[in-house]
């Protein structure tokens, strides 16, 4: 189930869309017939403490994309977020190797991060600090993707 508890505006909205779009696009390119891609987007409320310079209640948006494709080697996982690095073999194209670099840049712009786990499946997870979901928000509804 995917859920976001509020509306996002401006640059934050654009960055969230950039992150989801690039991660899902890469996963779809990595999979073939009979394989799958899973997207999870959710917002967590994180309680602050008295010494926290942020507001007493803040949030964290988690974006996780998992696929059943061939995976990323541990060696490649160390380089995958560098601008210009690509695992795709496309001759004559200088437009490869930018998506994950842009994802990392968007995450860091907000004080977040993105990581890849290659232990069982390829799982990209991005975390972005964002306003907490409203206390009065209704229970999350099923998202159709």
Report whether 122 contacts 67 (CB < 8 A). yes
pLDDT of residue 121: 87
Specify the DSSP element, H or E, that contains 22. helix 10-30
pTM: 0.77
Answer yes or no: CATH 3.40.50.410 is held by domain 10-130.
no
Where along the chain do its domains lie? 10-130
| pLDDT, tens digit, 9 for 90 and up, residues 73-131 | 888 887 888 887 777 665 455 566 789 999 999 999 999 999 999 888 889 999 999 87
Per-residue tokens: 135: 């206390």
pLDDT of residue 64: 97
| pLDDT, tens digit, 9 for 90 and up, residues 42-78 | 988 876 655 454 444 568 999 999 999 888 888 888 7
Per-residue tokens: 105: 């840049």
Report whether 132 contacts 87 (CB < 8 A). no
pLDDT of residue 40: 95
What whole-number distance in Å separates Cα of residue 131 and Cα of residue 44?
10
What whole-number distance in Å separates Cα of residue 100 and Cα of residue 13?
18
């Amino acid at each position: 189930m995917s859920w976001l508890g509020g509306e996002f505006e401006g640059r934050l909205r654009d960055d969230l869309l950039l992150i989801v779009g690039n991660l899902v696009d890469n996963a779809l390119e990595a999979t073939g017939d009979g394989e799958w891609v899973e997207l999870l987007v959710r917002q967590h409320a994180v309680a602050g403490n008295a010494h926290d310079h942020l507001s007493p209640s803040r949030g964290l948006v988690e974006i996780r994309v998992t696929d059943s494709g061939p995976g990323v080697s541990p060696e490649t996982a160390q380089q995958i977020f560098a601008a210009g690095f690509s695992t795709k073999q496309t001759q004559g194209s200088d437009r490869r190797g930018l998506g994950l670099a842009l994802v990392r840049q968007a995450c860091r712009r907000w004080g977040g991060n993105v990581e890849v786990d290659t232990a069982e499946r390829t799982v990209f997870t991005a975390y972005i600090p964002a306003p907490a979901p409203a206390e009065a928000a209704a229970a999350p509804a099923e998202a159709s993707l």
